[in-house]
A and B are shown apart, each in its own frame.
Chain A
Amino acid sequence: MASAKPRVKVPKKASAGDIITIKTLISHKMESGQRKDKEGNPIPRRIINKFTCEFNGAPVFSCDLEPAVSANPYFEFSAKVNESGAFKFTWLDDDGSVYTDEKSIKVS
């Protein structure tokens, strides 16, 4: 699966000090390394092992993933916003690929 497509939902605007909810989803098989193919050979593990969320460069939330996280890993979490800026989302793949997405928010 070469094209892991991230999808992120962040409110477009908020009031200063609000706690907003962020939802993220990325299409990825999360091959656990436990499965076997038709010939009985184990299929090598390939998962997203880390997810991070930053706001204007400061860490907000991150997660270490194990193979027990479902395919197309989904996260819902909170963030406190005091100023306008951009959220940066990063997913790290076992094979070294890095998937990123950015969303900006207006805070009044």
Chain B
Amino acid sequence: MTLTRRQVLAFGAGAAAFGIAVGRIPAAMATPEDVKASIADMFGGVEPQSGTVALNVPEIAENGNTVPISVSVDSAMEGDDLVESVTIFADGNPSAEIATFHFTAMSGAADATTRIRLAKTQNVIAVAKMANGSVFMDSREVKVTIGGCGG
């Protein structure tokens, strides 16, 4: 049986979908590829550009249980220049997604701060979706001394 390139790709996509479906197995970690896939999935294949969104994280987090992070997006938050949402991903946590912030014109400024758990040293990624459909991304590495997964 010879496989065409198309069949191989279709099989690969199916296998990936299956992997996501059974991906709830504990101790399975997200990988940078998973993050890329979920970003592509979530934002309809729009390639994220750099700039506009700024992610502020500590370079070294002593305690992975509470890592302060903040994001801000350069936007007037009026008319067409509006940020719809910012999603935070981590590529070495049990699940890639961390949180999604939704903004409105009443937010005034698209910035948010929270505290997150990081299992190990890894990249934290912020992806901002603008009302006009463009997508921006920022990524920072955080070195974690003590992981935050407990157990």
Question: Taking beta carbons and an 8 Å cutoff, which residues of A are in contact with B?
Answer: 19-20, 32, 34-36, 42, 55, 58-71, 73-80
Of the residues A60, A65, A68, A74, contact of B106 by C-beta under 8 Å: A60
Determine if B107 and A64 form an interchain contact, defined as CB atoms under 8 angstroms apart: no
List the count of A-B residue pairs having beta carbons below 8 Å apart: 108
> In the complex, which residues of chain A have a beta carbon less than 8 angstroms from the beta carbon of B148?
70
Asked, given contacts A42-B26, A76-B113, A78-B109, whether A34 binds B150 with beta carbons under 8 Å apart, the answer is: yes
Taking the closest CB of chain B, its distance from the CB of A79, in whole angstroms, is 6
Contact A19 B101 (CB under 8 A): no
Q: Is B141 in the interface zone, CB < 8 Å from A?
A: no
* Residues from 94 to 142 in B contacting A, C-beta threshold 8 Å: 94-95, 97-118
Complex CA gap A12/B80 in Å reads 31
The reply to whether A59 and B104 form a contact with Cβ atoms under 8 Å apart is: yes
B102 to A61, Cβ gap below 8 A? yes
Q: Of B107, B108, B115, which is within 8 A of A69 by CB? A: B115
